[in-house]
Amino acid sequence: MWSRVVEIMFGWWLLISPFVFGYASDETALWVNDLVCGSAVITFGLSSYWRLTRHAHLLTISISLWMIVFAYWHGFSSAPPESQNHAIIGLTLLMFSVIPNDASRPAKSWEATLESSGS
């Protein structure tokens, strides 16, 4: 579940990035986007630890795609730091969100082979 931990850390980064980048108070779209996306990523990451909602991290794909589109819409061509942040975080979250929860465990067929060999 290491990938969920990384997703949660990126969610916290999104929550603090308005303060790090010093968004103006009249840039409501940037504030709302970062706070809503960060909260959603944290919620989806934490929800995947519960057995009934173990696939909730896949919802992060939609947040990631939205962040990439928002970066383009917000003016990625002029490359302000906020748009670069949204694009990079969106692409990185997209990669992490497709990693299964049990990716650090060996395949079940390997475990069966290890158990039968007595190792």
Report how many domains make up the chain. 1
Our measurement of the distance from residue 67's CA atom to the centroid of its chain's CA atoms, rounded to an integer in Å, reads: 10
Boundaries of domain holding 82: 2-117
Q: Could you list the pLDDT tens digit for every one of the 119 residues in the chain? A: 789 999 999 999 999 999 999 998 898 989 999 999 999 999 999 999 998 998 999 999 999 999 999 998 877 666 688 889 999 999 999 999 999 888 777 777 776 676 676 65
The pair of three-digit structure tokens given for residue 9, joined into one six-digit string: 């850390």
pLDDT score of 104: 74
Q: Are 56 and 40 in contact (CB under 8 A)?
A: no
Exposed / middle / buried, residue 46 (Cβ in 10 Å: 0-12, 13-18, 19+):
middle
Structure-derived torsion over alpha carbons of residues 68, 9, 82, 20, reported in degrees to the nearest 10: 170
pLDDT score of 17: 95
User: How many whole angstroms separate alpha carbon 119 and alpha carbon 110?
Assistant: 12
